[in-house]
Structure 1
Amino acid sequence: MAKDKNFYFNALKGQAEYAQKASQKLVSILEGFNYETLSNQLEQMHEIENAADGLNHDILKKLAREFITPIDREDIIEMVHRLDDIVDYIEDVLQQLYMYDVRELNENVLPFARIMEKSSTALCEALAEFHNFKKSTTLNQKLIDVNDFEEDADVLYMKTIRELYLEHSDDAVYIMKWSNVFLRMERCVDAAENVADMVATIALKNS
Protein backbone atom coordinates (compact mmCIF):
# COMPACT_ATOMS: atom_id res chain seq x y z
CA MET A 1 0.00 0.00 0.00
CA ALA A 2 2.86 2.39 0.79
CA LYS A 3 4.18 1.99 -2.73
CA ASP A 4 0.74 2.65 -4.25
CA LYS A 5 0.23 5.62 -1.94
CA ASN A 6 3.50 7.13 -3.06
CA PHE A 7 2.58 6.59 -6.71
CA TYR A 8 -0.44 8.87 -6.55
CA PHE A 9 1.19 11.63 -4.54
CA ASN A 10 4.32 11.50 -6.70
CA ALA A 11 2.26 11.50 -9.89
CA LEU A 12 0.24 14.52 -8.80
CA LYS A 13 3.49 16.26 -7.95
CA GLY A 14 4.74 15.28 -11.39
CA GLN A 15 1.73 16.93 -12.99
CA ALA A 16 2.47 20.11 -11.06
CA GLU A 17 6.08 19.94 -12.24
CA TYR A 18 4.87 19.90 -15.84
CA ALA A 19 2.77 22.97 -15.10
CA GLN A 20 5.81 24.67 -13.60
CA LYS A 21 7.94 23.68 -16.61
CA ALA A 22 5.32 25.01 -19.03
CA SER A 23 5.01 28.32 -17.17
CA GLN A 24 8.79 28.73 -17.09
CA LYS A 25 8.88 28.02 -20.82
CA LEU A 26 6.22 30.65 -21.44
CA VAL A 27 8.14 33.28 -19.46
CA SER A 28 11.33 32.46 -21.36
CA ILE A 29 9.55 32.79 -24.71
CA LEU A 30 7.99 36.12 -23.77
CA GLU A 31 11.26 37.51 -22.39
CA GLY A 32 12.95 36.94 -25.73
CA PHE A 33 9.83 37.24 -27.85
CA ASN A 34 10.32 36.77 -31.58
CA TYR A 35 7.23 36.08 -33.66
CA GLU A 36 9.35 34.41 -36.34
CA THR A 37 10.30 31.56 -33.97
CA LEU A 38 6.87 31.21 -32.38
CA SER A 39 5.88 28.18 -34.47
CA ASN A 40 8.91 26.21 -33.27
CA GLN A 41 8.37 27.33 -29.68
CA LEU A 42 4.76 26.23 -29.89
CA GLU A 43 5.94 22.75 -30.85
CA GLN A 44 8.24 22.71 -27.82
CA MET A 45 5.37 23.73 -25.56
CA HIS A 46 3.19 21.04 -27.10
CA GLU A 47 5.81 18.45 -26.17
CA ILE A 48 5.43 19.48 -22.53
CA GLU A 49 1.65 19.29 -22.82
CA ASN A 50 1.86 15.84 -24.42
CA ALA A 51 4.13 14.57 -21.65
CA ALA A 52 1.69 15.92 -19.05
CA ASP A 53 -1.18 14.18 -20.84
CA GLY A 54 0.77 10.93 -20.78
CA LEU A 55 1.15 11.14 -17.01
CA ASN A 56 -2.56 11.96 -16.66
CA HIS A 57 -3.44 8.81 -18.59
CA ASP A 58 -1.07 6.72 -16.45
CA ILE A 59 -2.75 7.94 -13.27
CA LEU A 60 -6.27 7.29 -14.53
CA LYS A 61 -5.30 3.88 -15.93
CA LYS A 62 -3.85 2.80 -12.58
CA LEU A 63 -6.86 4.21 -10.77
CA ALA A 64 -9.21 2.13 -12.92
CA ARG A 65 -7.47 -1.06 -11.79
CA GLU A 66 -7.45 -0.38 -8.05
CA PHE A 67 -10.08 -0.53 -5.34
CA ILE A 68 -8.09 1.03 -2.49
CA THR A 69 -6.52 4.48 -2.84
CA PRO A 70 -4.75 6.71 -0.27
CA ILE A 71 -7.34 9.46 -0.74
CA ASP A 72 -10.81 9.34 -2.29
CA ARG A 73 -10.83 8.12 -5.88
CA GLU A 74 -13.07 11.02 -6.94
CA ASP A 75 -10.64 13.52 -5.42
CA ILE A 76 -7.74 12.04 -7.37
CA ILE A 77 -9.70 12.18 -10.62
CA GLU A 78 -10.71 15.78 -10.01
CA MET A 79 -7.16 16.82 -9.16
CA VAL A 80 -5.82 15.13 -12.29
CA HIS A 81 -8.24 17.11 -14.46
CA ARG A 82 -7.60 20.40 -12.69
CA LEU A 83 -3.82 20.03 -12.93
CA ASP A 84 -4.23 19.21 -16.61
CA ASP A 85 -6.18 22.45 -17.05
CA ILE A 86 -3.17 24.49 -15.92
CA VAL A 87 -0.88 23.11 -18.64
CA ASP A 88 -3.64 23.39 -21.24
CA TYR A 89 -4.23 27.06 -20.46
CA ILE A 90 -0.50 27.82 -20.66
CA GLU A 91 -0.33 26.19 -24.07
CA ASP A 92 -3.49 28.08 -25.06
CA VAL A 93 -1.75 31.39 -24.37
CA LEU A 94 1.01 30.55 -26.83
CA GLN A 95 -1.49 29.25 -29.37
CA GLN A 96 -3.41 32.53 -29.17
CA LEU A 97 -0.26 34.54 -29.84
CA TYR A 98 0.50 32.33 -32.83
CA MET A 99 -3.02 32.28 -34.31
CA TYR A 100 -3.40 36.04 -34.00
CA ASP A 101 0.06 36.55 -35.53
CA VAL A 102 1.09 38.78 -32.62
CA ARG A 103 4.28 40.63 -33.45
CA GLU A 104 4.48 43.00 -30.51
CA LEU A 105 3.57 42.13 -26.94
CA ASN A 106 1.17 44.00 -24.71
CA GLU A 107 3.13 45.49 -21.81
CA ASN A 108 1.23 43.45 -19.21
CA VAL A 109 1.64 40.01 -20.75
CA LEU A 110 5.11 39.29 -19.31
CA PRO A 111 4.22 40.45 -15.76
CA PHE A 112 1.13 38.23 -15.95
CA ALA A 113 3.21 35.27 -17.13
CA ARG A 114 5.56 35.78 -14.19
CA ILE A 115 2.60 35.55 -11.81
CA MET A 116 1.63 32.30 -13.55
CA GLU A 117 5.16 31.01 -13.03
CA LYS A 118 5.17 31.95 -9.33
CA SER A 119 1.77 30.35 -8.87
CA SER A 120 2.76 27.07 -10.52
CA THR A 121 6.02 26.99 -8.55
CA ALA A 122 4.20 27.46 -5.25
CA LEU A 123 1.70 24.77 -6.25
CA CYS A 124 4.55 22.43 -7.16
CA GLU A 125 6.12 22.98 -3.75
CA ALA A 126 2.76 22.38 -2.07
CA LEU A 127 2.24 19.08 -3.88
CA ALA A 128 5.75 18.01 -2.91
CA GLU A 129 4.45 18.19 0.69
CA PHE A 130 1.01 16.73 -0.02
CA HIS A 131 2.01 13.15 0.87
CA ASN A 132 2.85 14.40 4.36
CA PHE A 133 -0.23 16.59 4.79
CA LYS A 134 -0.90 15.38 8.34
CA LYS A 135 2.51 16.48 9.63
CA SER A 136 3.80 19.07 7.17
CA THR A 137 4.65 22.46 8.64
CA THR A 138 4.96 24.19 5.25
CA LEU A 139 2.02 22.89 3.19
CA ASN A 140 -0.50 25.42 4.44
CA GLN A 141 1.74 28.40 3.68
CA LYS A 142 2.38 27.14 0.14
CA LEU A 143 -1.37 26.88 -0.43
CA ILE A 144 -1.80 30.41 0.89
CA ASP A 145 0.91 31.56 -1.52
CA VAL A 146 -1.02 30.09 -4.46
CA ASN A 147 -4.13 31.96 -3.36
CA ASP A 148 -2.14 35.17 -2.96
CA PHE A 149 -0.82 34.88 -6.51
CA GLU A 150 -4.37 34.39 -7.75
CA GLU A 151 -5.35 37.66 -6.08
CA ASP A 152 -2.38 39.37 -7.75
CA ALA A 153 -3.55 37.98 -11.08
CA ASP A 154 -7.09 39.25 -10.48
CA VAL A 155 -5.80 42.76 -9.87
CA LEU A 156 -3.60 42.72 -12.96
CA TYR A 157 -6.36 41.20 -15.09
CA MET A 158 -8.85 43.95 -14.21
CA LYS A 159 -6.21 46.63 -14.74
CA THR A 160 -5.21 45.17 -18.09
CA ILE A 161 -8.71 44.74 -19.50
CA ARG A 162 -9.62 48.28 -18.43
CA GLU A 163 -6.50 49.62 -20.16
CA LEU A 164 -7.37 47.74 -23.35
CA TYR A 165 -10.68 49.56 -23.61
CA LEU A 166 -9.34 52.93 -22.47
CA GLU A 167 -6.23 53.01 -24.64
CA HIS A 168 -7.33 51.01 -27.69
CA SER A 169 -11.02 51.85 -28.01
CA ASP A 170 -10.54 52.51 -31.73
CA ASP A 171 -9.04 49.06 -32.40
CA ALA A 172 -11.59 46.30 -31.83
CA VAL A 173 -9.28 43.59 -33.20
CA TYR A 174 -6.52 44.52 -30.74
CA ILE A 175 -8.99 44.42 -27.86
CA MET A 176 -10.36 41.06 -28.99
CA LYS A 177 -6.94 39.47 -29.39
CA TRP A 178 -5.53 40.54 -26.08
CA SER A 179 -8.76 39.99 -24.15
CA ASN A 180 -8.62 36.36 -25.25
CA VAL A 181 -4.94 36.00 -24.35
CA PHE A 182 -5.38 37.49 -20.88
CA LEU A 183 -8.51 35.44 -20.27
CA ARG A 184 -6.44 32.27 -20.73
CA MET A 185 -3.79 33.61 -18.39
CA GLU A 186 -6.38 34.43 -15.76
CA ARG A 187 -7.94 30.98 -16.09
CA CYS A 188 -4.53 29.37 -15.65
CA VAL A 189 -3.97 31.05 -12.29
CA ASP A 190 -7.57 30.28 -11.30
CA ALA A 191 -6.96 26.61 -12.11
CA ALA A 192 -3.89 26.58 -9.86
CA GLU A 193 -5.94 28.10 -7.05
CA ASN A 194 -8.61 25.45 -7.60
CA VAL A 195 -6.00 22.73 -7.11
CA ALA A 196 -4.66 24.43 -3.98
CA ASP A 197 -8.16 24.70 -2.53
CA MET A 198 -8.75 21.05 -3.27
CA VAL A 199 -5.51 20.03 -1.54
CA ALA A 200 -6.61 21.98 1.53
CA THR A 201 -10.03 20.30 1.49
CA ILE A 202 -8.57 16.80 1.06
CA ALA A 203 -6.11 17.39 3.89
CA LEU A 204 -8.95 18.54 6.14
CA LYS A 205 -11.13 15.54 5.25
CA ASN A 206 -8.35 13.05 5.91
CA SER A 207 -6.80 14.55 9.03
Structure 2
Amino acid sequence: MGLKEWIVPQDRAFFDLFEKLADTANEGAELLQNLVNDYEDVQNKCHKMKQIEHEGDAISHQIFEQLNLTFITPLEPEEISRLAKALDDILDYIDGTTQQMYGYGVTETDTYMQELARLINLSTTEVKTAVRMIRKLDNPKAVERHCIEINRLENLADVVLGEAIKNLFATNDAITIIKLKDIYENLEEATDKCEDVANVLSDIAIRHS
Protein backbone atom coordinates (compact mmCIF):
# COMPACT_ATOMS: atom_id res chain seq x y z
CA MET A 1 0.00 0.00 0.00
CA GLY A 2 1.38 3.40 -1.02
CA LEU A 3 1.47 6.56 1.08
CA LYS A 4 -1.58 8.02 -0.67
CA GLU A 5 -3.70 4.96 0.03
CA TRP A 6 -2.54 5.01 3.66
CA ILE A 7 -3.47 8.66 4.23
CA VAL A 8 -6.67 9.00 2.17
CA PRO A 9 -9.76 7.72 4.01
CA GLN A 10 -10.77 4.29 2.79
CA ASP A 11 -14.50 5.09 2.86
CA ARG A 12 -15.51 2.68 0.18
CA ALA A 13 -13.57 -0.22 1.65
CA PHE A 14 -15.13 0.08 5.11
CA PHE A 15 -18.68 0.61 3.90
CA ASP A 16 -18.42 -2.16 1.31
CA LEU A 17 -17.28 -4.53 4.04
CA PHE A 18 -20.00 -3.45 6.48
CA GLU A 19 -22.62 -4.04 3.80
CA LYS A 20 -21.17 -7.45 2.96
CA LEU A 21 -21.20 -8.42 6.64
CA ALA A 22 -24.80 -7.24 7.08
CA ASP A 23 -25.81 -9.17 3.95
CA THR A 24 -24.10 -12.28 5.31
CA ALA A 25 -25.92 -11.96 8.64
CA ASN A 26 -29.21 -11.71 6.75
CA GLU A 27 -28.27 -14.73 4.64
CA GLY A 28 -27.72 -16.69 7.85
CA ALA A 29 -31.06 -15.52 9.21
CA GLU A 30 -32.84 -16.61 6.05
CA LEU A 31 -31.25 -20.05 6.25
CA LEU A 32 -32.22 -20.28 9.94
CA GLN A 33 -35.84 -19.50 9.12
CA ASN A 34 -35.77 -22.07 6.34
CA LEU A 35 -34.35 -24.63 8.75
CA VAL A 36 -36.94 -24.19 11.48
CA ASN A 37 -39.84 -24.04 9.01
CA ASP A 38 -38.62 -27.06 7.04
CA TYR A 39 -36.71 -29.19 9.51
CA GLU A 40 -35.30 -31.62 6.98
CA ASP A 41 -31.77 -32.30 5.75
CA VAL A 42 -30.60 -30.69 8.98
CA GLN A 43 -26.96 -31.78 8.81
CA ASN A 44 -26.43 -30.23 5.37
CA LYS A 45 -28.19 -27.02 6.39
CA CYS A 46 -25.99 -26.80 9.47
CA HIS A 47 -22.93 -27.30 7.29
CA LYS A 48 -24.07 -24.50 5.00
CA MET A 49 -24.69 -22.28 8.03
CA LYS A 50 -21.17 -22.91 9.27
CA GLN A 51 -19.83 -21.82 5.87
CA ILE A 52 -21.85 -18.60 6.11
CA GLU A 53 -20.51 -18.00 9.62
CA HIS A 54 -16.93 -18.52 8.41
CA GLU A 55 -17.58 -16.02 5.62
CA GLY A 56 -18.77 -13.51 8.21
CA ASP A 57 -15.66 -14.07 10.30
CA ALA A 58 -13.48 -13.45 7.24
CA ILE A 59 -15.27 -10.18 6.47
CA SER A 60 -14.99 -9.06 10.09
CA HIS A 61 -11.27 -9.84 10.01
CA GLN A 62 -10.92 -7.73 6.85
CA ILE A 63 -12.58 -4.79 8.61
CA PHE A 64 -10.17 -4.94 11.55
CA GLU A 65 -7.24 -5.41 9.21
CA GLN A 66 -8.34 -2.37 7.21
CA LEU A 67 -8.74 -0.42 10.43
CA ASN A 68 -5.14 -1.17 11.39
CA LEU A 69 -3.90 -0.02 7.98
CA THR A 70 -5.94 3.16 7.62
CA PHE A 71 -4.62 6.41 9.08
CA ILE A 72 -7.80 8.47 8.55
CA THR A 73 -11.11 6.61 8.81
CA PRO A 74 -14.59 7.69 7.64
CA LEU A 75 -16.00 6.87 11.09
CA GLU A 76 -14.40 6.89 14.51
CA PRO A 77 -12.21 3.79 14.95
CA GLU A 78 -14.27 2.80 17.97
CA GLU A 79 -17.46 3.02 15.92
CA ILE A 80 -15.95 0.81 13.21
CA SER A 81 -14.81 -1.73 15.79
CA ARG A 82 -18.16 -1.79 17.63
CA LEU A 83 -20.18 -2.14 14.44
CA ALA A 84 -18.01 -4.94 13.05
CA LYS A 85 -18.19 -6.88 16.31
CA ALA A 86 -21.94 -6.40 16.69
CA LEU A 87 -22.64 -7.57 13.15
CA ASP A 88 -20.39 -10.60 13.60
CA ASP A 89 -22.10 -11.43 16.90
CA ILE A 90 -25.46 -11.79 15.13
CA LEU A 91 -24.04 -14.50 12.90
CA ASP A 92 -22.30 -16.21 15.80
CA TYR A 93 -25.60 -16.65 17.63
CA ILE A 94 -27.49 -17.73 14.53
CA ASP A 95 -24.86 -20.32 13.69
CA GLY A 96 -24.35 -21.38 17.29
CA THR A 97 -28.05 -22.04 17.82
CA THR A 98 -28.30 -23.96 14.56
CA GLN A 99 -25.40 -26.20 15.54
CA GLN A 100 -26.93 -26.56 18.99
CA MET A 101 -30.22 -27.82 17.56
CA TYR A 102 -28.38 -30.46 15.57
CA GLY A 103 -26.04 -31.37 18.40
CA TYR A 104 -28.89 -31.70 20.91
CA GLY A 105 -30.65 -34.10 18.57
CA VAL A 106 -33.75 -31.93 18.21
CA THR A 107 -36.16 -33.91 16.04
CA GLU A 108 -38.72 -31.20 15.34
CA THR A 109 -39.15 -27.47 15.77
CA ASP A 110 -42.10 -25.63 17.28
CA THR A 111 -44.01 -22.39 16.82
CA TYR A 112 -41.78 -20.53 19.29
CA MET A 113 -38.62 -21.37 17.33
CA GLN A 114 -40.37 -20.46 14.11
CA GLU A 115 -41.54 -17.11 15.44
CA LEU A 116 -38.14 -16.25 16.90
CA ALA A 117 -36.46 -17.17 13.60
CA ARG A 118 -38.96 -14.96 11.77
CA LEU A 119 -38.16 -12.03 14.07
CA ILE A 120 -34.42 -12.60 13.58
CA ASN A 121 -34.88 -12.53 9.81
CA LEU A 122 -36.94 -9.34 9.98
CA SER A 123 -34.35 -7.76 12.28
CA THR A 124 -31.41 -8.58 10.01
CA THR A 125 -33.34 -7.20 7.04
CA GLU A 126 -33.71 -3.92 8.94
CA VAL A 127 -30.02 -4.06 9.85
CA LYS A 128 -29.05 -4.59 6.22
CA THR A 129 -31.07 -1.55 5.14
CA ALA A 130 -29.80 0.70 7.93
CA VAL A 131 -26.15 -0.25 7.37
CA ARG A 132 -26.44 0.89 3.74
CA MET A 133 -27.60 4.31 4.92
CA ILE A 134 -24.45 5.16 6.88
CA ARG A 135 -22.35 5.36 3.72
CA LYS A 136 -23.67 8.87 3.03
CA LEU A 137 -25.64 9.61 6.22
CA ASP A 138 -27.74 12.15 4.34
CA ASN A 139 -30.88 11.04 6.21
CA PRO A 140 -30.01 10.22 9.84
CA LYS A 141 -33.69 10.22 10.83
CA ALA A 142 -34.31 7.34 8.42
CA VAL A 143 -31.47 5.40 10.06
CA GLU A 144 -33.08 6.05 13.41
CA ARG A 145 -36.45 4.76 12.17
CA HIS A 146 -34.89 1.45 11.22
CA CYS A 147 -33.14 1.29 14.59
CA ILE A 148 -36.47 1.85 16.36
CA GLU A 149 -38.00 -0.99 14.34
CA ILE A 150 -35.13 -3.30 15.31
CA ASN A 151 -35.75 -2.41 18.96
CA ARG A 152 -39.47 -3.14 18.52
CA LEU A 153 -38.72 -6.55 17.03
CA GLU A 154 -36.36 -7.34 19.92
CA ASN A 155 -39.15 -6.50 22.37
CA LEU A 156 -41.46 -8.90 20.52
CA ALA A 157 -38.78 -11.59 20.77
CA ASP A 158 -38.66 -11.03 24.55
CA VAL A 159 -42.40 -11.72 24.72
CA VAL A 160 -42.08 -14.88 22.61
CA LEU A 161 -39.23 -16.11 24.81
CA GLY A 162 -41.30 -15.52 27.94
CA GLU A 163 -44.21 -17.52 26.53
CA ALA A 164 -41.89 -20.30 25.35
CA ILE A 165 -40.25 -20.65 28.77
CA LYS A 166 -43.61 -20.56 30.55
CA ASN A 167 -44.95 -23.32 28.29
CA LEU A 168 -41.75 -25.33 28.64
CA PHE A 169 -41.84 -25.37 32.44
CA ALA A 170 -45.37 -26.73 32.32
CA THR A 171 -43.79 -30.02 31.20
CA ASN A 172 -41.96 -32.59 33.31
CA ASP A 173 -39.15 -33.69 30.97
CA ALA A 174 -36.03 -32.17 32.55
CA ILE A 175 -33.71 -32.97 29.64
CA THR A 176 -36.09 -31.46 27.10
CA ILE A 177 -36.48 -28.39 29.29
CA ILE A 178 -32.70 -27.88 29.41
CA LYS A 179 -32.26 -28.35 25.67
CA LEU A 180 -35.14 -26.19 24.50
CA LYS A 181 -34.51 -23.44 27.06
CA ASP A 182 -30.97 -23.06 25.69
CA ILE A 183 -32.25 -22.90 22.11
CA TYR A 184 -35.03 -20.41 22.86
CA GLU A 185 -32.66 -18.15 24.81
CA ASN A 186 -29.98 -18.20 22.13
CA LEU A 187 -32.49 -17.42 19.39
CA GLU A 188 -33.70 -14.45 21.42
CA GLU A 189 -30.09 -13.43 22.02
CA ALA A 190 -29.65 -13.07 18.26
CA THR A 191 -32.30 -10.33 18.31
CA ASP A 192 -30.41 -8.71 21.20
CA LYS A 193 -27.32 -8.63 18.96
CA CYS A 194 -29.39 -6.98 16.23
CA GLU A 195 -30.37 -4.38 18.81
CA ASP A 196 -26.68 -3.89 19.63
CA VAL A 197 -26.11 -3.09 15.95
CA ALA A 198 -29.04 -0.67 16.04
CA ASN A 199 -27.53 1.10 19.05
CA VAL A 200 -24.19 1.54 17.24
CA LEU A 201 -25.92 2.78 14.09
CA SER A 202 -28.03 5.20 16.12
CA ASP A 203 -24.89 6.60 17.79
CA ILE A 204 -23.23 7.00 14.40
CA ALA A 205 -26.28 8.76 12.96
CA ILE A 206 -26.43 11.19 15.88
CA ARG A 207 -22.70 11.92 15.94
CA HIS A 208 -22.36 12.49 12.22
CA SER A 209 -25.64 14.27 11.51
Asked if Structure 1 and Structure 2 have the same fold, meaning a TM-score greater than 0.5 normalized by the shorter chain, the answer is yes
Partner of 1:75: 79
Residue 106 of structure 1 and its aligned partner are, at CA, apart by 2.7
- 2:58 pairs with 1:54: yes
Ranges in structure 2 where 5+ consecutive residues have no aligned partner: 1-6
Within the candidate set 7, 16, 33, 1:10 is matched to: 16
Give TM-score scaled by structure 2 length: 0.92
Identity %: 28
Query: In the alignment, what sits opposite 1:97?
Result: 101
Q: Is contact 1:119-1:192 (8 Å) kept?
A: yes
Correspondent of 2:190 among 167, 188, 191: 188
Contact 2:8–2:72, Cα closer than 8 Å, also in 1? no
* Residue number among 117, 129, 132 corresponding to 1:128 in the alignment: 132
| TM-score after normalising by structure 1 | 0.93
Which residue does 1:33 correspond to in 2? 39
Change (3 A) 1:206 1:137: closer
Runs of 4+, deviation exceeding 6 Å = none
Question: Would the aligned equivalents of 2:101 and 2:183 in 1 still touch at CA under 8 Å?
Answer: yes
Structure 1 residues 10 and 2, CA gap change in structure 2 (3 angstroms): farther
Distance 2:137 2:152 in 1: 20
Distance 1:136 1:198, change over 3 A: closer
Residue 106 (str. 1) matches residue 110 (str. 2): yes
SS of structure 1 residue aligned to 2:135: helix
Q: CA deviation at 1:138?
A: 2.5
5+ long unaligned stretches in structure 1: none
One-letter code aligned to 1:32: D
Question: Structure 1 pair 119/2, CA: closer, same or farther in 2 (3 Å)?
Answer: farther
1:198 pairs, out of 191, 197, 200, with: 200
Q: What letter is aligned with 2:27?
A: K
Alignment-mate amino acid for residue 178 of structure 1: L
Name the CA distance, whole Å, in 2 between partners of 1:199 and 1:136: 10
Preserved CA contact (<8 Å) 1:53 1:84: yes
SS at match of 1:43: helix
Aligned residues: 203
What root-mean-square deviation, in Å, do the aligned CA atoms of Structure 1 and Structure 2 show?
A: 1.5
Instruction: Specify the code of the residue in structure 2 equivalent to 1:51.
Output: E
Indicate the residue corresponding to 2:90 in structure 1: 86
Q: Report the Cα distance in structure 1 between the residues aligned to 2:20 and 2:187, rounded to whole angstroms.
A: 21
- State the SS of the aligned residue for 2:87: helix
Q: Are the equivalent residues in 2 in contact too, given 1:134–1:203 (CA < 8 A)? A: no
Shift of 1:136: 4.8
